[in-house]
Structure 1
Amino acid sequence: MSEVSVEQRLKELLLKLLEGSVNSDQLAYDTPLINGGLSIDSMVQLRLLNSMEEEFDIEVDDDDVEESVFQNLTTLANYVRSKL
């Protein structure tokens, strides 16, 4: 892993996917992604999963894709780390 944390890389991916509708200051590592907070939809979730697979060279299992993984950037980062 590079010096940039997994959380920071995920934040950058998500900000890119949200195309300016959210700025960096609005997205903390503990900001809820689904319920409350950003309330990202299933299309953004799918695009984020695809981006995660490319960025981190991991394979996301369909069985792993649960709401608990998408709670916030920290839970996503923990998932990524478990796949590295």
Structure 2
Amino acid sequence: MMFDKLKTINNPELLRLTGINDIIFNKILKILKTEEVKKFKNGGTPNKLSLENRLLMTLEYWREYRTYFHIAKSYGIS
């Protein structure tokens, strides 16, 4: 599931999908955003996926132990 579709689900469904609630998801996202700004301060190639999608992809992997092949197909990456 991509992050744009995630906005339409409620908190119990998010908890079931990722293992964390929306408050924790947003806190993690805030921390990652500040660290990403530091990481790309001196340049670098931007990622194909947004930070929100990368976090969601990681949480889905940890929750479901999906293979990289299935994750790649879900997110349109290789």
TM over 0.5: no
Q: Greater helix percent: which structure?
A: 2
Report the structure number with the largest CA radius of gyration. Answer: 2
The normalised TM-score by structure 1 is 0.28
The normalised TM-score by structure 2 is 0.30
